[in-house]
Structure 1
Amino acid sequence: MISGDTADREIVVSRLINAPRELVFEAFTEVRHLEQWWGPAGFSTKTRSFEFRVGGDWDFVMHGPDGTEYQEWITWSEIDAPARISMVHGESRDDPNAFASLLTFEPDGEQTRIVMRAVFPTKELRDEAVEKYHAIEGGEQTLHNLATYVAELTGKDVD
């Protein structure tokens, strides 16, 4: 869970998505959707196991455009459908560098504002994620992919 003063350890990205909150939430919580859009531009995702429930895991591999494979693991720590999801994200279940994330889904008329807030264990790990792995741009690209995918489902324009 995210609490306290975390400004020097966090990354926040958000996007307005041209779809109702329930659909945006579903796209984040069903593996058949996630594998279609998850990750930055040029990445693809292959799931090894997925169980969306508090305490459940998503074990997956992200394939980078250069062929690099990134082992990834998420466990869901809170689910309040369709408003918010809390999770821990790392390379494996026992990753000492795993970070906490809070996703909020806020209705905005016919659209949904999604906010992804990641809090790292240390400022140094946050800085490494930003500088080495381009986490801010990657988060923005991931939300763009989500917006594009949901637009394909609804037949609406991507905002």
Structure 2
Amino acid sequence: MNNNLLFDFIVDKPSKTVFVNREFAAELSLVWDAFTKQEILDQWWAPKPWASKTKFMNFEVGGRRFYAMVSPEGEQHWSCQRFTSITPKTNFKYLNAFSDKDENLSLPGSEWDLNFSEQNGITKVSITIYNESLERMEQQIEMGFQGGFTMTLDFLESLLPTLSKK
């Protein structure tokens, strides 16, 4: 892990927003693919020892990703991401909500805004997560979102060099 790379995780309760900024020592196109392709997402989008299992994904405006985070014992926590805006290699946005296995959403959800930029082979991902309710945001934080998402992004960092060789 390159300890010189930027990593910020800021919780702003008054605005019900979480800001995450993370740099990766990889080209923008590879990092973009890691966030937007099902076969790569399922390799890292869960804190270990949990795994990500996508039931279906259609990465286009109006499309969605329906997936579960699965524990080693087989416990499943389902979520749905509904893509609202995509500017290739630069930005995408989605509405995220927990759900049951039949995709019945548990609202309120959160709006994710992901921005990508590259400079000198370092790709920066800036994520803004706006929560529709302070209660939902606090529930996520209590459930260990910061630690879990940090572990997940760390795992992506370790995975990227193996992806660039493929």
Q: Same fold (TM over 0.5)?
A: yes
1:46 match: 53
Deviations 1:57-92 (A, max 9, x none): 111111134543101111111111101110111123
Deviations 1:100-135 (A, max 9, x none): 00111111211101122211111121111101x111
- Structure 2: how far apart are the matches of 1:94 and 1:62? 15
Task: Please list every run of at least 4 consecutive aligned residues from structure 1 whose deviation after the TM superposition is greater than 4 angstroms.
Answer: none
TM-score, normalised with respect to structure 2? 0.82
Q: Which runs of 5+ in 1 are unaligned?
A: none
Alignment pair present for 1:154 and 2:161: no
- Structure 1: how far apart are the matches of 2:14 and 2:119? 26
* Alignment of structure 1 residues 23-62 onto 2, 5 Å: 23-62=30-69
2:137 match: 126
Determine which structure has the larger strand proportion and give its number.
2
Report the alpha carbon displacement of residue 7 of structure 1 after superposing the two structures with TM.
4.9
- Structure 2: how far apart are the matches of 1:138 and 1:123? 19
Verify the 8 A CA contact 1:83 1:105 in the aligned structure 2: yes
TM-score, normalised with respect to structure 1? 0.86
Question: What's the % identity of the aligned pairs?
Answer: 23
1:138 match: 148
Root mean square deviation, CA, Å:
1.9
Q: Which runs of 5+ in 2 are unaligned?
A: 1-11
